Structure 1
Amino acid sequence: MTHPARFLLPALLLTLPSAPASAAVPASLSGEWFSGPQYAAAVYTTEFGAANADARRLLLNKDGTYVYTEFESTQYPSSFGTTGYPITCQMMDVTVERGTFTVQGGNITFKAAKVDRVGAYSPDRLNNGCKRNAGTRSSKAGSGADTLVWSVASGKLTVKAGKDAALYVRRTPASPPAPAASTVSPELGGEWHSGRISPIEYYNTATGKWAEASGTSVILKFGPNFTYERTGLMVVTTYGCTSKLLVQEKGKVAQNGNTLTFTPSSSAATGYTCSPSKMSTAKNHVKPYSEQYQVRTEPNGQRVLSLSRSGAQTLFNRPLGSKPEGAVTPRGGVVTPPPPASGSPGAPTASPVMPAAPARWTATGRWDAVITVNGRTIQVRLNLQDDSPRILGYGDDPVEYANGNSQTGALDVGLDLGGDTMELKVQGRFDGDRYQGTVRWTNYEGEDLGRGTLTMTRQP
């Protein structure tokens, strides 16, 4: 067998004449053996896309047949669309060899009958913006026989070719699920929103049409009987290129202290980069995951849900229009929102009204902008999504993109004026619902073509 030697250091295999078959395959040898990550059985024969790392499986059946599968992963740098943002892409190679084997003492002889290969294909889990490839398939008949030395000790299979050896282990039993809490905390129940939420559907699977939306949005719903639904949308528009990714999942959620474990029963991802005609999809690709959660109550009574995983944090609020749910006391207890002002029905006279905390400032919103460059005045309308500090935006014609940083006040705005593209570098300052900045008009080479100003007013 040629392929088990591939995971060894390069060495000459011991190629010997076929030995007479033993009466039976030793019980200690038969079964599934793994090197590297352990995937579901179907991944090693048909569902190759689920593998995303170097891995090998050797299946030794009691009837003397075998299946050997080897995955090899290659990662390479790329960039997201025309934004220039660096991303990491990946391609995979898989080889599946089938045949028969015989055992004679400490020697095992493999005789391949067929070798199938898929080269340079994309795994199911791929960074948004990476080019997806179906790969190149090939198949050939096996040839020759390869004899290796085997031994099993402490539940581990060692296969040797000369001085080089490879180690396999049996499939690790699945850990029993952590006992779920008797109930998910009542404070989590219901719907939570993060980012810019579209009031209509994101994507219609029947028509293939997308709803108009921008930025990053997540809707999370906790239902009865430990169920949940999560819908996330990312839309990025730069240099006339719009890329969209929609991920939907639903399943069960379990709570253990401040940890929530989400186990999807179904999931789907739909998206494209620049061209809606080049749609890519994935089904049931989301694996169980856990997030740390915290719910805090603002002084004005509004609740905020924080979910964090691997250092990344997402903040959720209740849907717009939701009533306050109580405020937190200094010792962590919950009290009702402040009483109504003195003189209103039922208001106590001794307790003054506590002012509500000011809302966190954000550049998110719809802005009316006036651009003046080289004596030319252009009025446009921008839609900005503030992801703190990154700003992602778009706008009505002639705006192609509007991105920046809400902390530094820097903006990059692109206009298409009848085929004449203007690249505007703006440095200014957000002041509540107004923005004032200086403009530098450049071309793709960064040459200075003119100067001016940009003023913006947020629409109510």
Structure 2
Amino acid sequence: MIPAQRFLLPALLLALPSCAASAATVPASLVGEWLSGAQYPANVYTEDFGGANGDSRRVVLNKDGSYVFTEFESTYYPSSFGTTGYPITCQMMDVTVERGTFSVSGGKITFKTAKIDRVGAYSPDRLNNGCRRNSGTRTSKAESGSDTMTWAVAAGKLTFRTEGGSATYVRRTPVQSPAAPTGLSADLRGEWHSGAVSPVEYYNTATGKWAEASGTSVILRMKADFTYERTGLLVVTTYGCTSKLLVQEKGRVTVNGAALTFTPTTSSSTGYTCSPSKVSSAKNNVKPYTERALVKVNTDGQHVLSLSSGSGETLFNRPLGTPPESQPGRSGAVTPPPPGEGGTTTPSAGTPSSAVPAKWNARGKWDAVITTPAGTVRVRFDMDDDEPRILGSGFSGDDAVGWIQGNSATGTLKIGLEVEGDREVELNVTGKFDGNSYNGRFTTTNAGGETLEGGTITMTRR
């Protein structure tokens, strides 16, 4: 039954009479909906289980002495995208729904279980592309047993206590109804880029031709009228096999504090594994999702948007020189410092809102020395720079470097490096370009998302 920690019925406990408690024996302060953890719509706890994507508990105590208890448990595990071996994170859920009756005597409450339904190892609605979906295993059985614990309601919180511990619940946070905003805030609206964004279209439906993009990239556009467009591309190349997945969506975005809820009105996904001639597609398969938003401005003037959810965080950069990349109350674009120079950026009043053309870029062939506590690795690669977006890959015949993404203005790089055992790690590099050389430091992330030992990298242009 509802133990304070697990809320599942211990075996061989004293059974109660089968009738529900009378309304007169249920204190008014107990009656209602109580939640612990994430709060989902009411129907998610009883029927639409796929709408949950994190741990949560809910108990409904009714006036007639009946109750319904629901518990969601989330588990993340590493996987890979198709046959490419590209690391992704997948998720599965377990849900338990328990029904029965309860009675109250002073500060004691006794629950009697009547039925327990479970769905184990099923996939939530929101799942990373490439993860295998599972419908889960369903079980249902009648139960007869009881459990007694103490209860207390204070400061809007309901606490259950047993000898083994305690659990605290709160009533559902009421939905606020503030005055409708007149438009999406200026710090959010506009265009945002994540990853190496292609300067041309990703996929031409008429010709079936794909853009020569590498790695994961996302373009997000949000408008003042609360409409949005999002285009995401995943490109992975392993041993001559290239796989691409393109997801496009349009819809509306609503704001609730720091939370942005994206509700697609149309969506499509197109992709292939290894063979561009075997393209598969689907339409309107993206469901509404919510992410927490945070906008900050770096010392170089770069605006960064962080969108985070239970599945992780995505960082977006606003293309330099686009509104509102300027100080409040002043017109003009922010001009980034030239590569290799320090100092802060200075808004140029009266300057048109367009990026200042760079006179230097990272385009060319590079020799690199990667030094770690375990040893030194020498690699070679090509980089292309569309000022400031960098795309790159290893030389033909040198498969150690699978892909490179970066920003020549800030000096940040991400490098997919193959290590022993055909494993790939991601180097997250910060450093500085100085003419035909580069010096930086990096941290390393493996397929499971763990941060490993870092090191240094030096590069010389040929």
TM-score normalised over the length of structure 1? 0.59
Match of 2:38 in 1: 37
The residue matched to 1:101 in structure 2 has which SS? strand
The alpha-carbon distance between structure 1 residues 283 and 104, as it changes in their structure 2 partners (threshold 3 A), is farther
Distance 1:122 1:40 in 2: 18
SS at match of 1:43: helix
Q: Would you say the 8 A contact 2:22–2:65 is kept in 1?
A: no
In structure 2, what is the Cα distance between the partners aligned to 1:149 and 1:189? 51
Name the aligned partner's letter for residue 149 of structure 2: V
What do the CA deviations read for 1:375-434 (whole angstroms, capped 9, x no partner)? xxxxxxx998999777469x9xxxx99933479999999xxxxxxxxxxxxxxxxxx9xx
1:70 match: 71
Structure 1 segment 199-214 matched on structure 2, within 5 A: 214=213
Aligned to 1:404: 403
Specify whether residues 287 and 385 from structure 1 end up closer, same or farther in structure 2 by C-alpha distance, changes over 3 A only. farther
**Any residues of structure 2 matched to 1:128-277 within 5 Å, and which?**
128-140=129-141, 142-154=142-154, 155-174=156-175, 184-185=185-186, 195-197=196-198, 214-215=213-214, 216-239=216-239, 240=241, 242-246=243-247, 248-252=249-253, 262-266=260-264, 270=269, 274=273
Kindly indicate whether the alpha-carbon contact (under 8 Å) linking 2:78 and 2:88 is maintained by their aligned counterparts in 1: yes
Aligned with 2:173: secondary structure? coil
Q: Determine if contact 1:255/1:261 at 8 Å carries over to the other structure.
A: yes
Change (3 A) 1:124 1:188: closer
Aligned to 1:376: none
Judge conservation of contact 1:107–1:147 (CA < 8 Å) in 2.
no
**CA distance 1:138–1:12, change in 2 (3 Å):** closer
- Change over 3 Å in CA distance of 1:157–1:224 after alignment to 2: closer
Of 272, 279, 294, 1:291 maps to 294
Equivalent residue number for residue 307 of structure 1: 305
Instruction: Compute the RMSD of aligned alpha carbons.
Output: 5.3
| AA at the equivalent of 1:235 | V
* Partners of 1:13 and 1:148 within 8 A in 2: no
Relative to structure 1, the CA distance from residue 277 to residue 95 in structure 2 (aligned partners, 3 Å threshold; closer, same or farther) is farther
Amino acid corresponding to residue 266 of structure 1 in structure 2: P
Amino acid at match of 1:18: P
CA distance in 2, matches of 1:132, 1:359: 47
Query: CA 1:231 to 1:312, structure 2 compared with 1: closer, same or farther past 3 Å?
Result: closer
Matched-pair identity in % = 43
Deviation at 1:60, TM superposition (A): 1.3
- Supply the distance in 1 between the matched residues of 2:198 and 2:170 (Cα, whole angstroms): 48
Equivalent residues in 2 for 1:71-86 (5 A)?
Answer: 71-86=72-87
CA distance in 2, matches of 1:14, 1:288: 44
Residues in 2 aligned to 1:85 and 1:293: alpha-carbon distance in whole angstroms? 30
**1:283 match: secondary structure:** coil
Instruction: Could you tell me which runs of 5 or more consecutive residues in structure 1 were left unpaired when the two chains were aligned.
Output: 299-303, 338-354, 365-381, 414-431, 433-460
Q: 1:88 to 1:236 in 2, by over 3 A?
A: same
Letter of the 1:132 counterpart: R
Q: Distance in 1 between matches of 2:43 and 2:27?
A: 25
| Distance across 1 between alignment mates of 2:9 and 2:147 | 16
Q: Show structure 2 runs of 5+ residues with no match.
A: 323-330, 336-344, 366-381, 406-410, 419-434, 436-462
Contact conserved, 1:32 with 1:58, CA < 8 A, in 2? yes
Deviates more, 1:117-126 or 1:274-283: 274-283
How far residue 316 of structure 1 moved from its aligned partner, in angstroms, is 4.5
Give the deviation of 1:31 after TM superposition: 0.9
Closer, same or farther: CA 221–261 of 1 in aligned 2, 3 Å: same
Relative to structure 1, is the Cα distance of residues 314 and 11 closer, same or farther in structure 2, using a 3 angstrom cutoff? same
One-letter amino acid of the counterpart of residue 69, structure 2: Y
- Kept after mapping to 2: 8 A contact 1:213/1:235: no
* 1:325-360 deviations in Å (ceiling 9; x for gaps): 9655875242246xxxxxxxxxxxxxxxxx953264
Counterpart check, 1:97 vs 2:98 = yes
2:294 maps to a residue whose letter is E
Deviation at 1:284, TM superposition (A): 2.6
Q: 1:203 to 1:165 in 2, by over 3 A?
A: farther
1:1-12 paired onto structure 2 within 5 Å: 1=1, 4=3, 7=6
TM-score normalized by the length of structure 2: 0.59
* Paired amino acid for 1:148: T
Checking the alignment, whether the CA contact within 8 Å between 2:391 and 2:404 is kept in structure 1 is yes
Equivalent residue letter for 1:315: N
Cα deviation, 1:82-117, whole Å, max 9, x if unaligned, reads: 555544433221111223333344443434343221
Question: C-alpha deviations, 1:177-226, integer Å up to 9, x for none?
Answer: 698587744x987666664448668598xx9x996664344333343534
- C-alpha distance in 1 between matches for 2:227 and 2:281: 33
Aligned residue pair count: 365
